[in-house]
Chain A
């Protein structure tokens, strides 16, 4: 009889790099202090560990069992640590190397390619487990055996001859750690419901933003035009100005209506201050696009002093990286909008590398597109008045998402109040 429990790990897996090897220890490892000794030895020698499995014997005569992943910065140190642990009765867990096949067609994987998830993955190369870089779902894994490097590669980006992992041998997925702190991700889980206390949730999101920033990671906002329609542009602008948002993903619409509001005080022809349609207001967004196109772009409009407020203005001023991805129904579009979908995707892919938290507000299209690119370790908050948006995101594998079913405005107003200290912008 054994009592099974999952134990925590020593390091922040998201930040740890290097080589990994699994060991097993078996026997009376608790009362003999062999287990604590082994864990201490790993740390003393400069490595780190994750306890993958630990079964404690229920009676004194029952043996206990632990499987531990040992991580070290290089092969030499890992060998030294493993050599030491073997002396204390640890055994190495055998495995086989990942198999690769060189891409025989550019822009496609070999048959039977390993299709990735968004969870941290490791592949075994020359007897060693290494982390796969740029984790992303629905990709293949490319390998450089000489440099002992592996990374996720999108189908369209495969050059001829690139070694691609095939089959499941020598590939393993590391489950995303469960949250240990009491943040929004801890207590909310992934349930989607409109019946949750919003003030608490907003405070928790604000706290997540602060902790992401203090961890040196960036905050990404993925937004739809409803942010502008609902009168939230000022809240977002305040958040950008105060340095709480470092990246923006959106489409033509958010930028267009933001600029429309900045230039003409309306969003889709509706006065933001009065909430009423303005005569000939339906033309406003076209006139806004036209103005920007005549000036050569959003940045040019800011430089020339034409655009002086709003989200896009603050992004330019604060040097926030933005990717505006186009769609088939776009008016204009604005010159900064990228109309080549694959190019937009690869720019987004490059931009998410240092993102620690993604806040997706009122957009299904851009949220799902971004969710597809994000590794599971990046936390996602999805805010939408329609529960289906959050559900869609979850259904497409972004299970790390916390959903808030609410209108964009009260959420963003609350967030700005929490972080910037203003109740109205």
Chain B
């Protein structure tokens, strides 16, 4: 299953803090280009060491966040559901991602207009279920639409801390029944859903979450992240995972880390569908906001 991990990445040639769309960004504290490139290359090296094939996305001037390929969309077998970015400054990335996924042989689809959805940043399979973050970037309605489009159970989880504006900043499936998460990023409903639906949850503490411990890349039994506390390292190792820490501080200035910099083209290891035969998708659902249910109430 992890024999040929394929990961889409974009070199940080034009990366920088050019606008502020999350609490981490501060245009007065720009990223250092040389150090960004060094950190990014180190991540590539680790992934290649682990046997992953890195597919490249051509960097584009004035699209500094194109490095965060996790937000391109999500894949499900041969279908790529393209993101609809909430902020205009990122919307220019979509054509780049779409072109690349066509090249990679995917059927590219977009969500109905007006919906917001930021890809694998907010939609992560753990087993057969798609866990979906909403509030800051993606909206709950589009997450439900995706669930219906793919014919998979989708559980929207409200994100309540603006620092953890994407689900992948506070939740990381390790396998089909195991995940790490930062409870403070969710409300009681979200925590209850995760506790009920993920068999083994490893809690990340507040100080670890701040250093993007949840924004990890999982390749087989290895977890790659920016920084790891001795405690979290112990927890992960106790569950059979090797841990590789690699500094990504320049990218944290933009609110992203290891996971944000990668897109798993062949599907995350935690997703059950990649071990299942391809199946016919249900028909594309209509836009729920346009359904006029003017039928009189039942009597």
Contact = CB atoms under 8 A, between A and B. Distances in A.
A86 B140 CA distance: 8
A26 B153 contact: no
Interface in B182-241: 189-190, 192-193, 196-197
B147 A28 contact: yes
A95 interface: yes
A172 B151 CA distance: 34
Interface string B60-77: 000000000000000000
B27 to A, nearest CB: 28
Contact of A89 (B134, B151, B197, B291): B134
Contacts of A172: 296-297
B297 A52 contact: yes
A188 interface: no
A261 B128 CA distance: 82
A26 B298 contact: no
A37 B288 contact: no
A175 B299 contact: yes
A34 B156 contact: yes
A36 interface: yes
B293 A89 contact: no
B88 interface: no
Interface in A31-66: 31-34, 36-37, 52-53, 60-61, 63
Contact of A28 (B134, B155, B158): B155
B288 A24 contact: yes
B118 to A, nearest CB: 16
A76 interface: no
A53 B298 contact: yes
A27 B289 contact: no
Contact of B294 (A28, A37, A89, A95): A95
A96 B296 CA distance: 12
A33 B294 contact: no
Interface in A79-109: 86-89, 91, 93-96
Contacts of B144: 26-29, 63, 89
B288 A26 contact: yes
Contacts of A96: 294
A36 B196 CA distance: 15
Given A53-B298, A89-B134, A173-B299, A31 B293 contact: no
Given A31-B193, A175-B297, A89 B153 contact: no
B156 A27 contact: yes
Interface string B120-138: 0000000010000011000
B157 interface: yes
B143 A61 contact: no
Contacts of A34: 140, 156, 189
Interface in B1-40: none
Contact of B156 (A24, A52, A89, A91): A89
A137 to B, nearest CB: 15
Interface string B273-299: 000000000000000110111101111
A87 B298 contact: no
Given A28-B153, A31-B193, A87-B135, A93 B294 contact: yes
A67 interface: yes
A33 B299 contact: no
A107 B141 CA distance: 50
A60 B299 CA distance: 29
Given A87-B135, A88-B140, A32 B155 contact: yes
Nearest to A40: B189
Contacts of A60: 128, 153
B245 interface: no
A91 B141 contact: yes
B249 interface: no
B293 to A, nearest CB: 5
A174 interface: yes
B152 A61 contact: yes
B153 A87 contact: no
Interface in B141-176: 141, 143-145, 147-148, 151-158
Nearest to A33: B189
A63 B148 contact: yes
Interface string A352-364: 0000000000000
Contacts of A91: 141, 288-289, 291
Contacts of A89: 134, 139-141, 143-144, 156
Nearest to B289: A91
A67 B140 CA distance: 17
B292 A94 contact: yes
A93 B154 contact: no
Interface in A135-169: none
A24 B297 contact: no
Contact of B197 (A31, A87, A88, A175): A31
A91 to B, nearest CB: 5
A78 to B, nearest CB: 19
Given A26-B144, A86-B141, A89-B139, 8 more contacts: A33-B192, A33-B193, A60-B153, A63-B148, A88-B140, A93-B293, A96-B294, A174-B297
15 contacts: A28-B153, A32-B154, A33-B190, A37-B189, A86-B141, A87-B140, A88-B158, A89-B140, A89-B144, A89-B156, A91-B141, A91-B289, A93-B293, A95-B292, A96-B294
List the 9 closest pairs (A to B, CB-CB), nearest first: A27-B144, A89-B140, A32-B155, A33-B189, A175-B299, A89-B141, A94-B292, A37-B189, A93-B293
Interface of B: 128, 134-135, 139-141, 143-145, 147-148, 151-158, 189-190, 192-193, 196-197, 288-289, 291-294, 296-299
